[in-house]
Each structure stands twice: as C-alpha cells, then as structure tokens.
Amino acid sequence: MRAQEYQNIQVSTPETGVALIRLNRPKALNALSNALMADVNAALSELAADTSIGAVVFTGNGPKAFAAGADIKEMQNQTFSDVYGGDMLSRWTKLYEFRKPTIAAVNGYALGGGCEMSLMCDIIYASPKAVFGLPEITLGVIPGAGGTQRLTRAIGKSRAMELILTGKTFSAQEAEKWGVVSKVVGDGEDEVVHEAVKTAAAIANKGRLAVLAAKESIKGADELSLSQGIQLEKRIFHSLFATPDQKEGMTAFVEKRKPKWAHESHL
C-alpha cells in the first residue's frame, strides 16, 4: 500500500513503475460517489508527484462491475441551483488532465459515469463479459462527464446517437469492433488486469518525457485541426532534442544496445 490510505479505492504497485487503482465499492457495483472521486483525485495528485510511477491502471473491485455509474442516490434530490452552483462533475476532469498514461481494465459493467471514466483513460482493455453504456436518458438526464463528446469521437455520430438516445448497452466485442477498446482480453477479471498492468509496465519502461510528450500530442488530435495538430507534434518533436533521453536513445540505437533512460527527476 502507498503512503496514503483511502476509503473508497485501493492503490497498489503491481509492477515497477505501475500504479493500480481499484475502485472499491463492490456492494454498490463501484458506483462513483463524491467520496470515491475525491479519493481518485487525491491518488492522482500523489501519483503525479511520484517519480517512480510511469503509468496508471484503473479497474473495479469484483467481477460484476468496473463502475456501474455515478451514485444516483447522491444526485436524486439535487436541484439546478445545487448542481450548477456547486459545479457538479467538475472534479471528474482530473483523470483526463492527468499527464501520465492511464489504462482502464474493464471487468463487468461500465455504465454511465463508469463508461465515461473508461473513455477518459488513454487505453481501454475489456474482459469478454464487460458491458458498456450511457443510459442516462432513462433517468431523465444526459451524460455529463464527457460521454456525448468522447463516445461520438470514438464511434461516430450515428452510432453514438443510437446508443445515447435509447440508453442501450453494448458488449465488449462490439466495443472492440467499433474502436472503443483496444482489445478484449482473456475470460475474466484477473486476465484483463494482468494485461493492462503488462502494457503499463512496457510504457513505464520507456523514456518518461517522450511518453508524456506523445500523450500530449495524441490528445491534440481530438481537440485541434489537422494543421494545428501537426504543428503541435512538430514543436514537441523539436523540444525533445533538448532532453538527455533523446541523446541516450539515439546513441543506444547506433551502438546497438538497450537505452538507459534518465527518467528525469521531475517526472
């Protein structure tokens, strides 16, 4: 266990350079309560400052759910003044803004806020029994943590309209076919987490500055025009020539040996 203990999540280090965050409200299917999201944000702040960590894996505790959505009981009696004045869901942006790579290992249900949380991650792996969906329409609302935007970018307008306006769920196999997830892994919770940790370890073993830079550039593809994105990529590429890892990586290639990354101390 890391330096800080949390009430609603479990944080561990299953591999060198990798942190694993388990959403830990199994009796509530890991519903994303305010307290749980506060724990997630606190853990992300800790991990952002931890120079030993190069990538983070998210999963749910138990085989039934990654996260079955936001905690409806907390929202049920809220008014417009409450949610607008209190800027509800504002604390959910920290995951998307987190600079180190993140992987969602989805086991069971990823619905509503749980689906949105997985979409905020950089890579998604799913178990064969994973189920995704944005069923907020059945509650008289719409997705509020980026679901209408990120799912549409992932699968296109027509399919996103169908799923969000009907509240229909979709399977792991459909998610893979449509490009929502990178791949469907194994036949249970342990396999998908193991594969996600394995990939996270491979990422953490790369030069940390280049990894951060690549993530920033890829995210730009969602938010910028093509010409702006290419300009961003070029400038980031140029900037990496000021780093020790660029010198080490290219020298190691020429000398036909494995690079010894510096993992700069501020990462």
Name the residues annotated as catalytic: 70, 113, 116, 136
Name the residue with tokens 């900037």. 239
In whole angstroms, give the CA distance from residue 61 to residue 67.
9
**Residue written as token pair 């249970």:** 188
In this structure, the dihedral spanned by the alpha carbons of residues 105, 111, 117 and 119, taken in order and rounded to 10 degrees, is 80
CB count, 10 Å around CB of 135?
A: 17
Burial pattern 210-237, b for ≥16 Cβ within 10 A else e, equals bbbbbbebebbeeeeeeeebeebbeebe
Query: By C-alpha distance, which of 169, 199, 172 is closest to 18?
Result: 199
The rounded distance, in Å, linking the Cα atoms of 36 and 176 is 28
Q: CA-CA distance, 194 to 198, in Å (whole number)?
A: 6
Residue 170 near residue 163 (C-beta atoms within 8 A): yes
